[in-house]
Homo-oligomer: A and B are copies of this chain.
Amino acid sequence: MELLKNKIIAQGIAINEKVLKVDSFLNHQVDVPLMQEVGLEFAKYFRDQGITRVMTIESSGICPAAFTALALGVPLVIMKKQLSCIHCEELLSTPVHSFTKNKDYTLTLSPNYIQYGDRVLIIDDFLANGEAALGACRLVEAAKATVSGIGIVIEKSFQPGRTLLQEKGYQLYSLARISKLGHGVIEFA
């Protein structure tokens, strides 16, 4: 997606060989019209997959996922990393390791918001090691629903996430694929 790649070139900051900072338009400040375009692009790509629900993981995936759900005309469901004490019903849950934050968290989903037969499109901001996406897939499949696609805004293609997801047969679409990062270096695949 050229619009996105141009934004990454203009505003992305490669902190080191693994970390790309896109705080100015995706993670902290958000370029909402760009996220709307991102949502339209995902909806266009997955429009023939019979998607019934878009899911994401809080919180940087919410904005692109919302515009994807709006364009597809289906509900959005936000998987939670941390639930408040008012959620007392039985939840689907799975452990996930965050390499970025170097800690584990529990990803949760209420069984009220996924149904047998659902065809789920998972949207997330980054794909690196694939831990979060694989965790989201486990929750969808625990509910006997189908992962019908995974849409990623920025993929770090030099990390193992893509391979792990493809080995499991998931249809993966990344809008920007980065092959190399370094101090001041951002190269696309």
Which A positions have Cβ atoms within 8 angstroms of B? 15, 19, 21, 23-24, 27-33, 35-36, 58-60, 62-63, 66, 69-70, 75-78, 80, 84-87, 98, 100-102, 110, 112-113
Measured between alpha carbons, how far is A80 from B59 in the docked complex, in Å? 9
List 3 A-B pairs, minimum CB-CB distance, nearest first.
Answer: A59-B59, A58-B59, A30-B76
**Is A86 a contact of B32 with CB atoms below 8 Å?**
no
* A77-B30 contact, Cβ under 8 Å, with A84-B100, A102-B85: yes
**Is A28 a contact of B70 with CB atoms below 8 Å?**
no
A77 interface neighbour in B29, B36, B69, B75, Cβ under 8 Å: B29
**Is A110 a contact of B32 with CB atoms below 8 Å?**
no
Measured between alpha carbons, how far is A59 from B76 in the docked complex, in Å? 14
**Is B101 a contact of A85 with CB atoms below 8 Å?**
yes
**Nearest opposing residue in chain B for A74, CB measure:** B32
Would you give 12 A-B contacts (Cβ < 8 Å), ordered by A? A23-B113, A24-B113, A28-B87, A28-B110, A29-B75, A30-B75, A58-B58, A58-B59, A59-B78, A62-B62, A62-B63, A84-B100
Measured between alpha carbons, how far is A19 from B32 in the docked complex, in Å? 31
Residues of B within 8 A of A98 (CB): 84
Residues of B within 8 A of A28 (CB): 77-78, 80, 87, 110, 113
**Is B23 a contact of A75 with CB atoms below 8 Å?**
no
A112 interface neighbour in B24, B36, B60, Cβ under 8 Å: B24
* A31-B75 contact, Cβ under 8 Å, with A21-B86, A58-B58, A86-B15: yes
